[in-house]
Structure 1
Amino acid sequence: MMIICKKKDKTKDRLVSIVDKDARHGAKSDDKKFTGYKVNSIMSEDGFIKNINATPGNSYDGDILIPLIDEMIEQGFTASEVVGDTAYGEVDNRNKLMLKGITVIAPFKKETNKNELFPQSKFRIEKHGVICPAECRTMVWNHNKKTEQITFFFNKKDCESCKLKQKCTVQKRRTITISEHYELLKRAREYNKTDDFKEDMKQRAHIEPKQGEMKRYHGLQRAKYWGLQKINIQATISAIVVNVKRLVTLNSCGYQ
């Protein structure tokens, strides 16, 4: 007799090593997977690493930003803007840092819709309502305080009789969910259309070579120790080395 077993779902935080219990599976993309750790860092405009932190390979980059900034502030460093990639631009990061007087500048994820239906950008979102592409308005909404999201519900009768329904929803009615910090995101999206944003992103590009320098020449290509605490020491030493190199370079160029 043969017994067919379904493959179990992968455990989200699965232990991958009996000798290094902090290491985890991670992925830079669908094709680039690894086991171990990842390193996030903050670099100033003049090219110095201000803070660096190693985390398990399965950690999400967006979750690292606030702890990095808080630790940096505790050490006496200040900042008015933080420029990063898409993951750092999550609305929770933007809101929390705004309360600290810091603006997050980052791209937004591109809108995707596997059913090729109307994306959210086709809807006009007002203060107390939403207007759909067929010019129907709804002011019926629900606020989820736990997720900090507001969901607008269109009338079922309006959706069922709408000639645009097949392009809009496969459900009985369309819903639109936005963050309660929608106005903050709206201002950020408008800023991202400006030339100033393009200049900011040029600054963002400078940290990739710095990360590459630590990786290729100063030990971050491979974890030399077991355990997150020791990996953080390794990352800190790498950051100190590139900072000393940067200081020597600036001094040799007559930087005061």
Structure 2
Amino acid sequence: QKSKLLRKSVYKIDEKMKDKFPPKTTTNELSDELDYCQKVVDTVEKEESLREYPKVKEKLNYLKEIIADHHEHFQLSNDPDARIGHKTADSSFFGYKTHFAMNGERIITAAVITTGEKSDGKQLQTLIEKSRDTGMKIDTVIGDTAYSEKDNIQYANHKELQLISKLNPNITQGTRKKEDEFEFNKDACMYVCKAGHMAIQRARTGKKGMNNNQKNTYMFDIEKCKVCPMKDGCYKEGAKSKTYSVTIKSTEHKEHEAFQ
């Protein structure tokens, strides 16, 4: 589209330029389209009298900018191991995460590299063990809400460690089904499925103060579920919605709540 707009602006000034542009692509390959667009840019830039016209210059710069952006993203998307991660509910990145452990003097004692969709909290035990392998003596571990999962609290108690990590009811209270398939992203406050898709909406269901516990229900984009390569056992064909619920139990983690 951008190359077409550039050619049109050139033709309005000099129709003879039609014979100088390269032949259009006949495939649907992004790489072929990028090569064609670059040839269009090169052709226009050779014409000094044309490239200085304001309308041509503007569209030329737009095309150059979009070529640069696509080359960058094209290189990233060729990485078969990278995955989509989220730092907020509205923003995402394509790549990897680095998880660090540091001592009181801010010296890095351990590092773990994961794909972008992995939960931070799942790396705590590995970071502790790696730090201990270097000779570190550990009695207290400090982390944000991502590290207050039930497994981490049990691990800390077993290893006689003091875990200082603020409880988050979304990830620490109550029981969850398919815990290994849906992981909580503490930055976006949303769950992410095993395919890396983040929930698009959250709602609290059930009445407060009743015998039955309330739940946080997370809703996923059904259009993504329909074509997901991991939908077997997760999405039922013909279903009009896909949700994942977390039961909130106020009685859980009393000892950690008291310590907190």
Q: Same fold (TM over 0.5)?
A: no
Mark the structure with the bigger radius of gyration. Answer: 2
TM-score (norm 2): 0.41
Query: Higher relative contact order by CA 8 Å / sep ≥ 6: 1 or 2?
Result: 1
